[in-house]
């Protein structure tokens, strides 16, 4: 699993604290670069599993958990258990869940509806959630996801 990234995002004069995570090569870093610099940056794999134990130290004051899903590789969409575990944490009891279904520009990708069913999102009752189709390389769909956070 990729590294957990935390950030503060200014949008509409409102400050949001969020946690971002996803599987390797799902597009986490590319999306964060799109948010901060509006450009695509080629990256190598980030740290990953070694940070998993320390994730909960980032939860305080988090308003939204952002999960980046690689829509092409179904075998990499195994984040479900991690998401449910995170959302059960006391510090995240009021946090929303935004899922970016990345790589929607690829004709082999799963649709948002397929990802919705695969992740069993209807079982999340205590948190507001939204799934947003996107393409990290072009930035398409990213602003809509941020608007939902607001």
Segment 17-60, tens digit of pLDDT: 888 888 888 888 888 878 777 655 554 454 555 445 566 777 88
Domain that residue 9 falls in: 5-149
- What pLDDT sits at residue 137? 93
- What pLDDT sits at residue 119? 87
Is 102 among the annotated ligand-binding positions?
yes
State the CATH number of the domain containing residue 60: 3.40.50.300
Q: Which residues of the chain have pLDDT under 70?
A: 1-16, 38-55, 76-81
- What pLDDT sits at residue 54? 61
Cβ-in-10-Å burial (0-12, 13-18, 19+) of 145 comes to buried
For residue 6, CA distances in Å to 57, 113, 116 come to 11, 28, 24
- What pLDDT sits at residue 40? 56
Which one-letter DSSP state was computed for residue 18? Answer: E
Is 22 among the annotated ligand-binding positions?
yes
Is 13 among the annotated ligand-binding positions?
no
The total number of structural domains that make up the chain: 1
Is 46 among the annotated ligand-binding positions?
yes
Q: What is the torsional sign of CA 32, 6, 129, 117?
A: positive
């Amino acid at each position: 699993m990729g590294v957990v990234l935390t950030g503060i995002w200014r949008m509409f004069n409102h400050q949001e604290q969020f946690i971002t995570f996803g599987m390797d090569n799902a597009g986490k870093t590319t999306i964060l670069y799109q948010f901060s610099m509006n450009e695509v940056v080629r990256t190598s794999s980030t740290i990953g599993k070694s940070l998993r134990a320390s994730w909960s130290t980032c939860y305080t004051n988090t308003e939204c958990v952002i999960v980046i899903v690689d829509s092409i590789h179904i075998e990499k969409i195994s984040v479900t258990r991690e998401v449910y575990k995170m959302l059960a944490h006391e510090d995240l009891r009021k946090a929303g869940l935004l899922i970016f279904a990345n790589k929607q520009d690829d004709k082999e990708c799963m649709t948002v509806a397929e990802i919705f069913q695969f992740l069993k999102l209807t079982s999340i009752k205590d948190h507001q959630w939204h799934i947003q189709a996107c393409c990290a390389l072009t930035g398409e769909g990213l602003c809509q996801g941020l608007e939902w956070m607001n």
